[in-house]
């Protein structure tokens, strides 16, 4: 019973890695805006919005997809060997 739980966790983790790889492949640039308070003068707060950009290479997402796929296939092969 404990072995099947490990196998299901392995499958879930591999699928998560595959989806993260797909996400990073499709969105190579991610921009988000953060609000940072600069100071406080009397009642109104003084804040400024900063835009941050995160860039990563296309092959990083493809590599994650490949690694997730390999681990998933190897995990499925071990699962089939245990059943036999």
66 with 17: CB under 8 angstroms? no
Q: Is 67 exposed, middle or buried (0-12, 13-18, 19+ CB in 10 A)?
A: middle
Percent of the chain with pLDDT over 70: 76
DSSP letter at 57 equals: -
What is the model's pLDDT at position 53? 85
55 with 29: CB under 8 angstroms? yes
pLDDT 10s digits, 42-74: 666 677 888 888 888 888 888 888 988 888 888
29 with 57: CB under 8 angstroms? no
What is the model's pLDDT at position 2? 46
SS3 label, residue 84: coil
């Amino acid at each position: 019973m404990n072995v099947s739980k490990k196998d299901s966790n392995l499958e879930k983790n591999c699928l998560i890695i595959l989806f993260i790889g797909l996400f990073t492949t499709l969105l190579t640039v991610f921009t988000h805006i953060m609000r940072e308070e600069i100071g406080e003068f009397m009642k109104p707060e003084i804040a400024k919005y900063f835009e941050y950009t995160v860039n990563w290479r296309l092959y990083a997402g493809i590599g994650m997809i490949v690694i997730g796929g390999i681990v998933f296939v190897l995990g499925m092969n071990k699962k089939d060997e245990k059943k036999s």
